[in-house]
Amino acid sequence: MKALQFKRNLPRYAAARLAGSFTPGRGATVGPLELVDLDPPVMPGPDWVRVRPRLSGICGSDLATVDGRSARYFEPMVSFPFIPGHEVVGDLDDDQRVVLEPVLGCASRSIAPTCSACAAGRLGNCEHTTFGDLSAGIQTGSCHDTGGGWAVAFSAHPSQLHPVPDGFSDEAAVMIEPAACGVHAAFAAKVPDSVVVAVLGAGTLGLATIAALRAYTSPRTIVATARHPHQQSLAAELGGDLVVAPTEVRRAVRRAAGTRAISRNGEGAAGTVDRLTGGADIVIDCVGSSSSLTDALAVTRPGGRIVLVGMPAVIELELTPLWHRELELVGSYTYGTETLQDGSTTRTFDLAFDLVSQADLGRLVTTTYPLARYREALEHAASAGSRGAVKVAFDLRDERERSAS
């Protein structure tokens, strides 16, 4: 079967890092990712099933891997060679369409009793991602034994699968996983009513987070940053009240929060806003870069909360504002179970299904490619914003091997 496989090859990984630094996504041309022919997947256990992907999204974390920018933190939690792809809608052998919840927690690893995180429904915080019946891997798409969505077929545990309702398009279904990340971020932010929230970034994660904030919380104002015109339009349509370029976020939050600016004398243009005396109550960073986190620290009010959604890797950052303004910095990795305002709990993916339907997030899938054009697909995904796209995905619906298998 056809698959995109990532092998452990340090010289080619270094070449990908160099190529990606010049042209994002170019690591696919020189790096360890290859289109290969493999035997069909072997089920890791008796309960496992085969999934044949229909659409499989390209995530920012995938691009970091392809371009050699992944944090070394993840090295012990990956098993080589692996097949990427964790944003997946596919078919089971009985032709039932399913969406993958990719976390490989205690249930999929046949570990009993489960860890405290899995028992509480916090699957993304599983303590056993390198143990049990499977090779190391925090999720499908980084584990050798399961395969991943960038292939004609892969293996999944029933606990990972969610049926897709009739009437749900494949494009909507492949947005469930990134939408769940946005939903989890909105709940991790713990947004009180009538506050100012700023969302930095309007790629897939940022747009999903804006939609989730509008659907499941009640802030007074959502300030959002977006670089490109189509991102600005989508951010406003999905719930952003004040959408500005990243360079204007400090002025925008100043207006929204009714606070004052502090400028540096003698540096930059006259009137340059260095930081705010107050600021947004909550800032959600969906970029994870040095500049976005610097902005977050500058526009969060003293005692406020910063939620980090974008994967940061290794960055340079001055943390003095975190200390001086007594800010709370919270990570928001992935999904599991959320606690609603009435105290009840529900699966993040269930909320994501509702959000994708209500906000029509399937429209964010703007371009698809066959596996054979993976180099072109990955370069497109890496420059999606500047090319008028949001989510780029692999389309495996017409793969001949898929229909014949």
CATH number, domain with residue 157: 3.90.180.10
Alpha carbons within 13 A on the beta-carbon side of 379:
13
Instruction: Tell me how many helices (H) and strands (E) the chain has.
Output: 14, 19
- 269: exposed, middle or buried (Cβ count in 10 Å: 0-12, 13-18, 19+): exposed
Task: Specify if 336 maps to a domain.
Answer: no
Task: Specify if 343 maps to a domain.
Answer: no
Task: Tell me which residue has tokens 């469930």.
Answer: 176
Q: Is residue 132 located within the same domain as residue 33?
A: yes
Q: Is residue 301 located within the same domain as residue 214?
A: yes
> How far apart (Å, rounded) are the C-alpha atoms in residues 351 and 329?
25
Q: Is residue 278 located within the same domain as residue 194?
A: yes
- What does pTM read for this prediction? 0.94
Q: Between the CA of residue 198 and those of 33, 325, 400, what are the distances in Å? A: 36, 17, 46
Q: What is the DSSP letter of 124?
A: G
What are the backbone angles phi and psi of residue 374, rounded to the nearest 5°? -65, -35
Task: Specify if 340 maps to a domain.
Answer: no
What local confidence, expressed as pLDDT, does residue 182 receive? 97
Q: Is residue 159 located within the same domain as residue 88?
A: yes
Q: Is residue 119 located within the same domain as residue 157?
A: yes
What local confidence, expressed as pLDDT, does residue 268 receive? 41
Q: Is residue 111 located within the same domain as residue 23?
A: yes
What kind and span of H or E run contains 394?
strand 391-395
What local confidence, expressed as pLDDT, does residue 314 receive? 79
Task: Specify if 324 maps to a domain.
Answer: yes
Task: Specify if 337 maps to a domain.
Answer: no
Helix, strand, coil % in the chain, rounded to nearest 5: 35, 25, 40
Task: Specify if 278 maps to a domain.
Answer: yes
Q: Is residue 204 located within the same domain as residue 252?
A: yes
Q: Is residue 225 located within the same domain as residue 315?
A: yes
Number of domains in the chain: 2
Task: Specify if 256 maps to a domain.
Answer: yes
> How far apart (Å, rounded) are the C-alpha atoms in residues 378 and 341?
40
Residue 123: what residue type? L
pLDDT tens column, 117-151: 999 999 889 999 999 999 999 999 999 999 999 99
Domain-ending residue, one of 331, 348, 382: 331
Task: Tell me which residue has tokens 């300030």.
Answer: 223
pLDDT tens column, 144-173: 999 999 999 999 999 999 999 999 999 999
Domain-ending residue, one of 292, 315, 331: 331
Nearby residues of 81 by Cβ (< 8 Å), 6 or more positions away: 5, 6, 7, 8, 144
Residue 383 lies in domain: 2-177+356-404
CATH number, domain with residue 223: 3.40.50.720
Q: Is residue 213 located within the same domain as residue 273?
A: yes
> How far apart (Å, rounded) are the C-alpha atoms in residues 327 and 217?
21
Q: Which two structure tokens, joined as six digits, stand for 234?
A: 């989508």
pLDDT tens column, 364-403: 999 999 999 999 999 999 999 999 999 999 999 988 665 5
Q: Is residue 129 located within the same domain as residue 81?
A: yes
131 with 105: CB under 8 angstroms?
Answer: no
What local confidence, expressed as pLDDT, does residue 312 receive? 81
Task: Specify if 351 maps to a domain.
Answer: no
Q: Which two structure tokens, joined as six digits, stand for 195?
A: 């506050």
pLDDT tens column, 244-272: 999 999 999 999 999 998 887 644 444 56
Nearest one of 166, 123, 124 to 357, comparing CA atoms: 166
Q: Between the CA of residue 136 and those of 56, 82, 145, 176, 251, what are the distances in Å? A: 22, 11, 9, 25, 46
Coil vs helix vs strand at 40: coil
Q: What is the DSSP letter of 49?
A: E
What local confidence, expressed as pLDDT, does residue 316 receive? 87
Q: Is residue 7 located within the same domain as residue 148?
A: yes
CB atoms within 10 A of CB 366: 16
Q: What is the average per-residue pLDDT within 74-96?
A: 95
Q: Is residue 10 located within the same domain as residue 44?
A: yes
